Structure 1
Amino acid sequence: MSSRDKQVEGIRNKMNELQKKLEGENATFFDDLRGYLITSSLFYDELDVTEQSYNVCVDLIEAQENGQTAQEYFGKDSRKLADSMIKNFRHAGYREIMELILLPIGIYWAISFISDFAKRGALKINILEYILIALLSLGMVVIVFEAVHKSIYLSENNPFRKSKIVQFIIGTIFFTCITGAFVTISVFTPPIWIAKLVYPGDVILMLTVTAIFLGWIIIGRKRELYSITPFIVLMAAVGMLQRIPVMLAVVGSNNIKFLAVGAAISGFLINIVWGRIEMKRIAHD
């Protein structure tokens, strides 16, 4: 974790503690404002956004201690306040922008690569498929950020904001469509550009990719990605079992397909359960 990331994390932790002191309408006001600012754009400077949010929280705590509400202190139109703040945010540097762009692409590429590796036979990488996956992953991130951003200041009577059931249904439909799009790309992308790698090169590459990906998650303390590590490890293990002759002889070639299905299901379920636990932890911070 870079010194800048540590600085952002430190301010965020202090803000989380301060936010717990807010009560009633003040708490709702700041929660909406903070969410709106964070999702305003992928390309604003994270440190600047975090600092400005923290300053608002400090001012709101002071106003609350003086008996004022958020609307009395900041005005009734909280969205107008948020929009005025957004106009003054610094844009992220080129390095940060590239990291933001490459992050979702790298995650989905790693998952796709590990899934390809777990298949029987020589490792085949469909380059066109990976290009389409990159475009879809970027589009998905932009849509999610924009949807969350727009939904924060919906009217209280809006079904999406009012009903948890409506939110769940729409979210389920959206992620089902995204999953379907990834599956469609994986199944129907024509084999125009194929890169092929045979043993032991495929195993060496797999070990390298897995080590880099897991190292980046663990050393960088990317808690939001911890839940995906079991899937990565299990699928990589299946791929290695079927490619290393000694291990394949021990396990048996007929058992590999059952191990692959079991590893995929187990990794997916662990990812869901762990991910939900992590989301609850973040929500209560």
Structure 2
Amino acid sequence: MNSDNLIKANNLLRKKLTSENQKYYEDLLTYIRGKSTFNREKDVEQLLLEILHDLIDAQNNGQNAEDYFGKNPQTLADEILQTLPKSFFETFKLACYILIGYVLLFATPNIVLPTSNLDFGKLIILGTISFVFSLVVLWLIGQETYQKNKLMHSVGLALGGRS
């Protein structure tokens, strides 16, 4: 099963959770996805689906997510992330997507206008900066999930996080 199918299955199965368990799981999911930038997407999504199946089984047996997984989901998520292998290829692929997207977005006006100059060096440097910025945003989204600090929570919300 590819990553897209795993995500679709995850989205469908999440509807079976109670609202309390769904909040717990979605926070866990957001944290893991935000922190798993250097892991293979398929591995992460398979793991999240396994966790969801375990949670649904526990819920069917009368347990809630806190009783089953514990009261500190951030620690659980960090332990889970340590077990996943790092993938240079996935990181490289993400960098290429961001770089190509940046180049297409900002080179198009230069290509359309014949009198403007196209500086590939500048595009590559700024594309690389965009990649680093994207990694920081993903890291902040992951950090914001279990953040108690109101300043970090506000920064996460400003960058598009949830309330």
Fold match, TM over 0.5? yes
Tell me, in whole angstroms, the C-alpha distance in 2 between the residues paired with 1:116 and 1:14.
42
Structure 1 unaligned segments of length 5 or more: list them.
1-5, 173-282
Q: TM-score, normalised by structure 2?
A: 0.88
Q: Does 1:14 align with 2:41?
A: no
Tell me, in whole angstroms, the C-alpha distance in 2 between the residues paired with 1:132 and 1:29.
40
Q: Does 1:63 align with 2:58?
A: yes
Tell me, in whole angstroms, the C-alpha distance in 2 between the residues paired with 1:49 and 1:98.
17
Q: Does 1:147 align with 2:140?
A: yes
Letter in 2 for 1:112: F
Q: Does 1:127 align with 2:120?
A: yes
- 1:199 aligns with none
SS in 1 for 2:159: helix
Tell me, in whole angstroms, the C-alpha distance in 1 between the residues paired with 2:151 and 2:15.
28
Structure 2 unaligned segments of length 5 or more: list them.
none
Q: Does 1:47 align with 2:42?
A: yes
Q: CA deviation at 1:8?
A: 1.4
Which one of 87, 97, 110 corresponds to residue 116 of structure 1?
110
Instruction: For CA contacts below 8 A with separation 6 or more, give which structure has more relative contact order.
Output: 2
Between stretches 75-84 and 132-141, larger displacement belongs to 132-141
- 1:197 aligns with none
Letter in 2 for 1:152: T
Q: CA deviation at 1:132?
A: 2.3
Letter in 2 for 1:124: N
Alignment length (residue pairs): 161
- 2:29 aligns with 34
Tell me, in whole angstroms, the C-alpha distance in 2 between the residues paired with 1:148 and 1:140.
12
Larger radius of gyration: 1
Identity percentage over the alignment?
A: 25
Q: TM-score, normalised by structure 1?
A: 0.52
Alignment of 1:200-239 (within 5 A): none
